[in-house]
Amino acid sequence: MQLPVYLDNHATTPVDPRVLEAMMPYLTFRFGNAASTTHSFGQEALEGVEKARRQVSDAIGAEPREIVFTSGATESNNLALIGAAQANLPRGNHIITVATEHRAVLDPCAALTRAGFDVTILPVRPDGLLDVDRLRDNFTGRTTLVSVMMANNEIGTLQPIAKIGAMAAERGALLHVDAAQALAYLDINVMRDNVHLMSLSAHKAYGPKGVGALYVRRRNPMVRVTEQMHGGGHETGRRSGTLNTPGIAGLGEAARLARESFASEAPRLAALRDRLLASLQRDIDGLVVNGTMEHRLPNNLNISIPGVEGETLLMSLRDVALSSGSACSTASAEPSHVLAALGVTPALAHASLRLGLGRWTTEEEIDYAAQRLTETVKRLRSMGFS
């Protein structure tokens, strides 16, 4: 076992060696520009891009032509939300989203509000799940877009995307899904679940940073988005800019591996996560689990430990890499907006930790992390830190 133990896989994942292997040719001898196809260098680069497009589409049940490559899920979210809102403005200007969404969804929605759109932000139940009946009641004749993340990046909550997709389709609205945290661990099928737009990230699924994709449906119905990046008409006019061929090749391989392994990897991670939780609950008095355990990512655990401030605990624990759930970004000292939406008190929110297991997490590491967390909590409590 190597130290420190890494349990922050919701922040980012290590690049799988097989992903790096797929990227290397496009970082070295296949260095061409995929838009410059009058010679073999550009043709080889384009072949790599189109192979990755097929791999990503296969992983989510889409068609290759429905995949738009971007710089990551944040850009994909912005393109989906602002692009679809603008393209559908003649039909209406009402958008529905959820209080526990990532800032990459909430901030574009705030920008749309400033631009004159009507945005409804729905609350969640104490377990983190959206009340589908409440969603139904908030549709209007002007609703064009609903945005609900598949798996929450802090508490791991899995929203009922198929039900939401069916509801949106019945009312003629589009459904956008932020699936950045879901690709490596869940069975994704955009057609089955009535998803019209889906954001993906490579570095949350054992791929490289700085690359992602947006699924844009082209059939039943054909979805239109207004481009947000101008300057060359790349990606069939939906996202201009020279393609990051090595990154795209990495995303494609990461998506292929995710599709190949999630059925066996998800139960393995869930068993390790449950082992970790059982140990912590046994040895740490008053521990609170944030969010539902029934509808949750298999690799996620979000807990609050009363009497110990999360940041203090992290600074005292150098050999286990975790993150505190007490801030929605590293630049903010405010309690997590996700935990606040669950009704978690500020004190418990500041005492929260997010643990994210990953592809290489072992039972030995889980036992070590549980032991070190328990020891550190008891020591801090005895010293009166809070």
Verify whether residue 109 is a known catalytic residue: no
SS3 (DSSP) at 64: helix
Nearest to 13 by CA among 288, 367, 371, 269: 269
Give the integer Cα–Cα distance in Å for 85 and 69: 20
Nearest to 238 by CA among 222, 221, 220, 251: 222
The one catalytic residue in 155, 328, 366, 373 is 328
Contact 92, 241 (CB under 8 A): no
Give the integer Cα–Cα distance in Å for 90 and 79: 18
Residue type (1 letter), 349: A
Helix or strand (DSSP H, E) at 321: strand 320-321
| In 332-377, beta strands by DSSP E | 352-356
Give the integer Cα–Cα distance in Å for 371 and 280: 8
Give the integer Cα–Cα distance in Å for 207 and 179: 15
Give the integer Cα–Cα distance in Å for 254 and 58: 12
Give the integer Cα–Cα distance in Å for 164 and 169: 9
Contact 240, 229 (CB under 8 A): yes
Query: Which residues are tagged catalytic?
Result: 328
